[in-house]
Amino acid sequence: MLLEGKVAIITGGSRGIGKATAIKLANLGAKIIVNYTNRLEAANEVVNIIKDNNGEAITVKADVSNISEVKDMMKFAVDTYGSIDILVNNAGVTKDTLILRMNEEDWDKVINTNLKGAFNCIKEASRYMIKNKYGKIVNVSSVIGVIGNIGQANYAASKAGIIGLTKSAAKEFASRGINVNAVAPGFIDTEMTQVLKDEIRNEMLKAIPLGRFGTPEDVSDVIAFLVLPYSDYITGQVIHIDGGMVM
């Protein structure tokens, strides 16, 4: 298997894109750290799926916005499996409302989790990757970080920030054998979109040339490509996975 012997940390790995990515990379042979903050039962379910398919996985509770907890998570991964080869920064939250109604707490929560969390994880994981002169980092951005959206100023800012973070980290770590890329999913059929009213979902579909919502697996397949040897000459890129929504 192409990722046999590799160790992958998936933040926000208990559901949606994170869950699909954890299962995909495990099927390719990687040992998986499923990070979660509150959803232990869901995280355990992901681990059980992986183990049922003869893979290796373990859960780790950590708030990615807390640097101390991130440090402990990275150390635990190395103590348990011996290295950190792959990092997928997927953890994210939304607190949607118009700018005039948005309070400071909702702004800070989204920025701290989505953007600061990715920074914290890159900073701490890269310490171990540099020692091994190898690493693959994939940051989950969003098309909203590219085009913006009404009522999502905090989310858009955090996801736009991830794009800048990706490009800067790619330049800093290229000489150390570490590739850093990002994916920018469009409207993916996860818990976030399933709660939307039918009329809103129908309007969204009109903006997608391929005529359907994406699946978590559509995103995890691209993430898998970016951590496989096939992508060794790719770094600092942002790949849109949006059915043609943003061209």
pLDDT band for position 201 (cuts 50, 70, 90): confident
Residues classed as catalytic = 155
| Residue 169's pLDDT band (cuts 50, 70, 90) | very high
pLDDT at 193 over 80: no
Of residues 204 and 151, more confidently modeled: 151
The continuous run of DSSP H or E covering 89 comes out as strand 86-89
Residue 142 or residue 202, greater confidence: 142
pLDDT tens track for 106-130: 999 999 999 999 999 999 999 999 9
What mean pLDDT is predicted for residues 27-34?
98
Q: Look at 204 and 45; give whichever has higher pLDDT.
A: 45
Taking 90 as the threshold, does the pLDDT of residue 1 lie above it? Answer: no
The pLDDT tens digits of the residues spanning 222-242 come to: 999 999 999 999 999 999 999
139 falls in which pLDDT band (50, 70, 90)? very high
Neighbours of 218 (CB within 10 A): 20
Query: What is the structure's pLDDT at 143?
Result: 96
In this predicted structure, the answer to whether residue 86 has a pLDDT above a threshold of 90 is yes
What is the reported pTM? 0.96
| Cα-based angle 11, 153, 207 (whole degrees, multiple of 5) | 85
pLDDT at 200: 78
**Token digits of residue 211:** 């005529």
pLDDT given for residue 19 in this prediction: 98
pLDDT at 166 over 90: yes
Is residue 6 left, alpha or beta, with left meaning phi > 0 and alpha meaning psi from -120 to 50? Answer: beta
Tell me the torsion sign for CA atoms 43, 44, 47, 49. negative
pLDDT bracket for residue 192 (50, 70, 90):
low
Does the pLDDT at position 81 exceed 80? Answer: yes
Q: What is the pLDDT of residue 63?
A: 98
pLDDT at 198: 83
List pLDDT tens digits, range 56-67: 999 999 999 999
Asked whether residue 191 carries a pLDDT value surpassing 90, the answer given is: no
